[in-house]
Structure 1
Amino acid sequence: MKKDQVVNCQFSVWYPLFKKHTIKRKWSELIPGAEFRCFVKENKVIAISQRDYTQHYQHIAKQEASISSSILGFFRDHIQYRFPDEDFVLDVYRDSSGRVWLIDFNPFGEVTDSLLFTWEELTSGKHLTASQTQEDTTLQDGPAFRYTTSEVTVQPSPCLSYRIPRDFLDLTTGEDAYKIIDFLKLKKGQQEEESSDEEEDES
């Protein structure tokens, strides 16, 4: 299946492939400053990025430690070792009471926006830092946590040019379609490996 077949909504082509994997998400009004993207490698959260990096939210700097702790606690209790792959990306939402909610999963790779990190940093295996200007030798506990630190670094959001939902923009550019395809390929490959291992054990 080609990218343009998904983007151009050729229903008869892609529906048979995805009908068994349809996921419906309940609509909720979320505060952009409470959304975070977590990068997981070998079943460990190695980095956390502010999701809406185009804006400066003062509360993130003030609550950095508690935000990180809440996210790591949620990951440990509900996600770690339960996902079919050990390298992946997840988006979460932390509400005003400190409770963390899962929003989405994404493939660990360039098809997913790395936000305030670079994929070279995330895949190099080097020690990640909270700031891109820090040395790699800087010691820190837990994952690297990056967020927009001042109004000076605020950037215009690409979504403002269209005034449309981010999910719709991803779909029209093909990004969302690629994520679905990559995830299903990943899942299928792991299922085939498991089946192969079972056959070897039986023989």
Structure 2
Amino acid sequence: MKEEEVNQCQIQEWYPKFKSVSIKTLIHELPESFIKYLLDDGPFLLPLSISNEDALPKRVHNPDEEQDYEVSEGSGDESELPSPPPSFPELELKIKQSIESLGGAVFPKLNWSAPKDSAWISTTGTLRCTTFSEIALLLRASDSLVHDLCHAYDSCSDKSSSRPQNFFLALRKWYPSFQPEMEFRCFVQGHKLVGISQRESTSFYPALLGKENDLRFLIYEFFKNNVRSKFESENYTFDVYITRDEKTKILDFNPWGAFTLPLLFTWEELEDISSEVDDVDFRIVEDKFVVRPGLKTAVPYDYLDTSPGSGWDQFLRNADEELQRQTRSPEAGG
């Protein structure tokens, strides 16, 4: 994989080309001072808000605890005073305006990734944000975003740097009626759509049963008419969402292989499909007993050590044994 292939999957690169068939998004270039704030391993501080907005004040900031940091005059401990919270007034103002124009709630992500691993810290348990403070909290608490910030090109054969020159924050319109079962990952090799996988592969959705052919047709026609001739890479993946009125929307692009999860496939299977079958392999979770475990990890795929004897190797072996046991059980009809 080349750096250029990774760069083409940055949202600020692909969104302008696919704006008409994607979710409404506003993109802001981030100042380097904000990137340093995200990478700072010091005390967890939210930026000082110009709007006096404070996300989760009881969990992040408690005025009573500030007494612990009080230093009496002449004590000689002035150097131990905590640093004041950072402030990004210009960025906050732009983000506030964007949130308002997008209906009051957004889903944030950086060049490639969203802070899904830190959703637990929000009041809703989701990535829904209505203020700059909430966005900063999710980004600052996310470990998975370290990939974007420091390791974006680790899998590239022509790696020349560890990070892109500039970082961007994409604010995507939040849709409360979003149905996770209607999100799919599509795999393209040699400009051919070779596989489609249910995106939320850790859940069984009975509503998908019997709709495989219709969904395959909708996604293939969308790829043929809207993606194949516009996206410049030869090998890549893209995520789509099927709306209730059967319209297809692009959610994201990712490189082929590397840190992209193959979900209900393996990369070896996808290589074989692309070379042997001129058809689209469509996969969903077809039974509650065959849900594939271990894919909700926020760790990039190529950071997982699945070699024989590794922790992940043993975990997946145990999970496969448990799935086989459940399949053979009377309750499963085995």
Q: What range is the shorter-chain TM-score in?
A: 0.5 to 0.7
* AA aligned opposite 2:280: P
Q: Which has the higher helix share?
A: 1
TM-aligned CA distance change 1:154 to 1:15, over 3 Å:
closer
Partner of 2:219: 71
Pairs within 5 Å for 1:1-203: 7=146, 17-19=165-167, 23-29=170-176, 30-124=178-272, 125-127=274-276, 142-155=279-292, 159=296, 170=298, 173=299, 175=300
Structure 2 gap segments, 5+ residues each? 1-37, 40-144, 151-161, 304-334
- Structure 1 range deviating more: 24-33 or 44-53: 24-33
* AA aligned opposite 1:31: Q
Structure 1 gap segments, 5+ residues each? 129-140, 160-168, 179-203
Q: RMSD value over aligned CA atoms? A: 3.1
1-structure distance, mates of 2:202, 2:283: 13
Partner of 2:18: none
TM-aligned CA distance change 1:16 to 1:147, over 3 Å:
closer
Give the aligned length.
146
Query: Bigger relative contact order, structure 1 or 2, given CA contacts below 8 A and separation 6+?
Result: 1
2-structure distance, mates of 1:15, 1:116: 30
Q: Normalising by the residue count of structure 2, what TM-score does the alignment of the two structures yield?
A: 0.39
Partner of 1:134: none
Identity fraction in percent: 33
User: Secondary structure of the residue that 2:166 maps to in structure 1?
Assistant: helix
On the 8 A contact 2:202/2:295 being kept in 1, the answer is: no
* AA aligned opposite 2:281: A
Deviation at 1:122, TM superposition (A): 1.4
User: Secondary structure of the residue that 1:55 maps to in structure 2?
Assistant: coil
TM-aligned CA distance change 1:73 to 1:22, over 3 Å:
same
User: Secondary structure of the residue that 2:286 maps to in structure 1?
Assistant: coil
2-structure distance, mates of 1:84, 1:22: 23
Runs of 4+ in 1 over 6 A off after TM superposition: none
Partner of 2:132: none
Deviation at 1:123, TM superposition (A): 2.2
Deviation at 1:78, TM superposition (A): 1.0
Deviation at 1:126, TM superposition (A): 4.1
2-structure distance, mates of 1:85, 1:158: 26
Partner of 1:188: none
2-structure distance, mates of 1:157, 1:108: 20
Q: Normalising by the residue count of structure 1, what TM-score does the alignment of the two structures yield?
A: 0.61
TM-aligned CA distance change 1:37 to 1:158, over 3 Å:
closer
